[in-house]
């Protein structure tokens, strides 16, 4: 079965950020005419009451994707966790080796995603969503810091940020 995994991004209440809307719109465009299963992955941030996955699922169903074709992963709070958890969910639902597909994220995020996917041995292909021009300097800087963190500490969260996996 073909799967489209959409990686989460900041939400404000139950409203997706502009970057997240761009990812969702790119996923809808890619999935048009396909009988794909969508897996939305993104956890709950401390200051929010709704997970990124729930916001994304609502967006997809409001844009015509049937509820039965949308799977949620509301637990992932890092890129590594997005893919590890998505793989476990899809293996449980469809069976190991019985799914393939793509992941949708912002273009600047793809190099780190490829690195993580290689470590997890997941053969997903990237589908790049555009990013708002005003956020690119911050996004690229943040991504560079994340790559350095992964090089130095691996994929586990750093305790000083108070995040758990």
The residue written with tokens 């996923």 in the block is 27
Q: CA 151 to CA 51: how far, in whole Å? A: 28
Q: Range with the lowest mean pLDDT among 97-101, 117-121, 123-127, 148-152? A: 148-152
Closest CA to 6 of 112, 15, 68, 21: 21
Report whether pLDDT(160) > 50: no
Q: Residue 146 has what pLDDT?
A: 83
DSSP conformational letter for 121: T
The per-residue pLDDT of the chain, averaged, comes to 89
pLDDT at residue 74 greater than cutoff 60: yes
C-beta separation of 115 from 150 below 8 A: yes
| Cβ burial 61-78 (10 Å sphere, 16+ → b, else e) | eeeebeeeebbbbbbbbb
The pLDDT assigned to 157 comes to 54
Whether residue 6 has pLDDT greater than 90: yes
Chosen CATH of 2-161 out of 3.40.50.620, 3.40.50.360, 3.40.605.10, 3.90.1150.110: 3.40.50.620
Which structure tokens are listed for 163? Answer: 């995040």
Q: Where are the domains of the chain?
A: 2-161
Cα gap 63→24, rounded to integer Å: 10
* Distance in angstroms (rounded) separating the CA atoms of residues 125 and 55: 24
Chain position carrying tokens 């997970």:
51
pLDDT in tens, 127-153: 999 988 888 788 888 888 887 887 787
Lowest mean pLDDT among 4-8, 32-36, 116-120: 116-120
Q: Can you say how many angstroms the Cα of residue 63 is from the centroid of all Cα atoms in its chain?
A: 18
In angstroms, the CA 123 to CA 87 distance is 11
pLDDT score of 132: 87
Give the pLDDT confidence of 22-47 residue by residue, as tens digits.
999 999 999 999 999 999 999 988 88
State the pLDDT at residue 163: 43
């Amino acid at each position: 079965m073909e799967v489209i995994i959409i990686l989460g991004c900041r939400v404000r209440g139950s409203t997706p950020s502009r970057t997240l809307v761009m990812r969702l719109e790119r996923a809808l465009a890619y999935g048009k005419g396909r009988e794909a299963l969508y897996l939305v992955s993104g956890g709950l941030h401390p200051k929010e009451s709704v997970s990124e996955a729930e916001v994304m699922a609502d967006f997809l169903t409001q844009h015509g994707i049937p509820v039965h074709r949308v799977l949620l992963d509301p637990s992932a709070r890092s890129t590594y966790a997005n893919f590890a958890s998505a793989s476990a969910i899809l293996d449980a639902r469809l069976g190991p080796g019985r799914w393939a597909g793509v992941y949708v994220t912002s273009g600047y995020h793809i190099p780190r995603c490829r690195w993580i996917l290689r470590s997890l041995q997941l053969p997903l292909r990237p589908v790049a969503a555009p990013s708002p021009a005003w956020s690119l300097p911050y996004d690229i800087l943040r991504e560079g810091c994340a790559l350095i963190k992964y090089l130095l500490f691996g994929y586990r969260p750093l305790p000083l940020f108070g995040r758990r996996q």
